[in-house]
Amino acid sequence: MSEDLFRTFKKRRLTEVFWQKRTIHSEDKPIYSYQQIVSDDLWLKCPACQGIIFKASFEKANQVCPLCQKHYRLTSAERIELVVDEGSFVETDADLRSKNPLEFAGYDEKQQDIRESTGLSDAIITGKGTIGGYPAFIGVMDARYLMGSMGSVVGEKLCRLFENAGREHLPVITFAVSGGARMQEGMLSLMQMARTAAAVASFKAAGGFYLSVMTDPTTGGVTASFASLGDIILAEPDTLIGFAGRRVIEGTIAEQLPDGFQKAEFLKKHGFLDQIVSRANMKRTLAGWLAFLASPKALHSGGAGTAMPPLSQNSLKASERLERIHEKNRPVIDDYLGLVFDDAMEIHGDRRYADDPAMYAGAALLDGCGVFVLGHRKGRNITENTRVHFGMPHPEGYRKANRIMKLADRLGRPLVTFVDTPGAYCGVGAEERGQGEAIAACLSDLATLETPVFVIVTGEGGSGGALAIGVGNRIAMLENALYSVISPRGFASLLWKDPAREAEAADCLKITAEDLTAFGICDDVLPEPEDPNDAEWAGRMSAVIRTYLTNMLSAYDGRSGAAACEERARKLDRIAIFRESGGQNNG
């Protein structure tokens, strides 16, 4: 704002912008308060940043401050208008009304007043509509109705929402805003937590997909039930999310909690959110997920697939290939994602402890086919590598991967994994949180997934940390990639007590693509561009990987999930070389 405009602005009478307590009266007693920014003037003062903003700009941004991006509350009607395609929403179960099972004084009158002032029948609106042209069942809570508290009607409408979606084989999207259980309905209210959780579980067991969006605030029994059970969980920035209130926690432990505690950013860091999405990007994000779900699960080529470029006569020793894969300019998974796939959407968090940046997880389209993607994430420089632990996942990374494996299995989606790690992270914290168990769980689930799994070793495949996402129906290796029981440096340190003999260890371990093809571990070798300094190396290699994967998706078209699972089991049964006491060798 210019100085002159600001002087003019100061001379005018400004309507005080504040957190207004809008009180609805019954017998002249305040019974409900709802927070919102209000002003009859052209200008607003944001309570969060104290900035002066043009009212029209604030409203155009759907109640988001353009200066600090603080997201203020929307009504259910505003939310539906924002994300649902115009004219497509059809409300369901609008005739349900809460009773007063406890005969709680003033409860009936309070609800009647709220209904008259808001037009709401209860704290949630449910229905069916389209987002970006894709149909879904949608539930939107509204804080104006007893702070979005969940009583019998909210629970019933949610249960019916999931039942209706299950019958029509459509996804469910909910927007939560709530203070928790509705005290005026006692234990009947509390039991809605169990009812809605059971409804979500039944819906998922039948193959349904559920996306939960948390908006400010999402607390108490709603947080501890359906809102936290989404296959994918999104939140708006700075959303308050928690079970127990901040003051309750501080009073219990007699400690002051850190800034940002129970905010969306805090929850994402600790593994409980997949994405934080601004209001401006919410519809696009939801439409992206619905497009993914509507995509085919295989490619129908009707032919033998696209021809792969020929392999060169690679005469490099393993130690020389080790040097190649350690070169600073060698692509990492973040380079491949945008070149191999279309519309990749990252998924965060293990839903237990943290989000591990060393393990990438996401969903993407590949020639229109929806797949899930996992991969070890290395950095391009020391700063990035420090952030991603040099591509060595903690238990949280493997639990995130395990979560995506199960989701791919339930939705019948192919799983693509990129292997490039020296091994799992070694440290006290990793052991305390069960590094071995986390890897074992991945291996166990890879053995039983009823969906095809395609593995690509792009660099170094080190030990169990690589194997945890490195077992598949087809295992491909870039021609200079290595796959080993332990990193060559670790081998030299353990067996020879001399890490300087790393190159010698690499050459004796039989860890090249050719070696592992002979062992029956590697199925396909992908040719690399001959010049490692080629500026187009990443693009050329990505084209090869993309061709390979599209061929695999075509080849597995029509195969059942059970057949894919059985194929992996047969493959594992053959990977062993031994001699029995009778003198017979198995291979």
Q: How would DSSP label each residue in 35-99? A: EEEE-SSSEEE-TTT--EEEHHHHHHTTSB-TTT--B----HHHHHHHHSPTT--EEESTT----
Residue 301 is predicted with a pLDDT of 64
Tally Cβ neighbours within 10 Å of residue 86. Answer: 8
**Residues 240, 257 contacting (CB under 8 angstroms):** no
Answer yes or no: do 275 and 335 share one domain: no
The reply to whether 347 and 447 lie within a common domain is yes
Does a structural domain hold residue 323?
no
Domain final residue pick, 12, 28, 60: 60
Tokens read off for 397: 């990374």
Concatenating the DSSP letter of every residue in 239-279 gives -BEESS-HHHHHHHHTSPPPTTTTBHHHHHHTT--SEE--H
Any domain includes 309: no
CATH (domain of 114): 3.90.226.10
Same domain? 164 vs 233: yes
Taking residues 304-332, report their average pLDDT: 82
Share of the chain above pLDDT 70, in %: 91
Angle at 194 between CA 191 and CA 195, to 5 degrees: 85
Task: Give the count of beta carbons closer than 10 Å to the beta carbon of residue 116.
Answer: 10
**Confidence at 183, pLDDT banded by 50, 70, 90:** very high
Say which residues have a Cβ less than 8 Å from residue 440's Cβ, sequence separation at least 6. Answer: none
Q: What's the CA gap between 341 and 178, in Å, rounded?
A: 38
Q: Is the pLDDT of residue 455 over 80?
A: yes
Residue 322 lies in a domain: no
**Domain presence at residue 307:** no
Render pLDDT for 511-527 as a digit per residue (tens, 0 to 9).
999 999 999 999 999 99
90 and 186 within one domain: yes
Residue 444's SS3 state is helix
How big is the CA angle at 379 (ends 377 and 383), to the nearest 5 degrees?
Answer: 135
Find the domain containing 12 and state its range: 3-60
Residue written as token pair 């490039």: 420
**What pLDDT, on the 0 to 100 scale, is given for residue 194?**
97
Q: Are residues 397 and 444 in the same domain?
A: yes
Averaged pLDDT of the chain: 89
Same structural domain, 497 and 362 = yes
One domain, residues 11 and 111: no
Same domain, 437 and 478: yes
SS3 345: strand
Residues 100 and 170 in one domain: yes
Residue range 475-499: mean pLDDT, rounded:
91
Residues 89, 118 within the same domain:
yes
> How does pLDDT run across 75-124, given as a tens digit for each residue?
999 999 999 999 999 999 999 999 999 999 999 999 999 999 999 999 99
Cross-strand partners of 365: 342, 370
**Number of domains into which the chain is organized:** 3
CA 408 to chain centre: 12
In a domain, 587, yes or no: no
11 and 127 housed in the same domain = no
Q: Residue 389 burial (CB < 10 Å; 0-12/13-18/19+)? A: buried
In this predicted model, what pLDDT tens digit does every residue of 397-452 receive, in sequence order? 999 999 999 999 999 999 999 999 999 999 999 999 999 999 999 999 999 999 99
Residues 6+ apart with CB under 8 A from 540: 529, 534
Q: Could you report the per-residue pLDDT of 110-166, keeping only the tens digit for each?
A: 999 999 999 999 999 999 999 999 999 999 999 999 999 999 999 999 999 999 999
Query: Are 483 and 393 part of one and the same domain?
Result: yes
Q: How far apart are CA 54 and CA 72, in angstroms?
A: 15
> 423 with 465: CB under 8 angstroms?
yes
Q: Is residue 320 part of a domain?
A: no
On whether residue 395 sits in a domain, the answer given is: yes
Residue 16 resides in a domain? yes
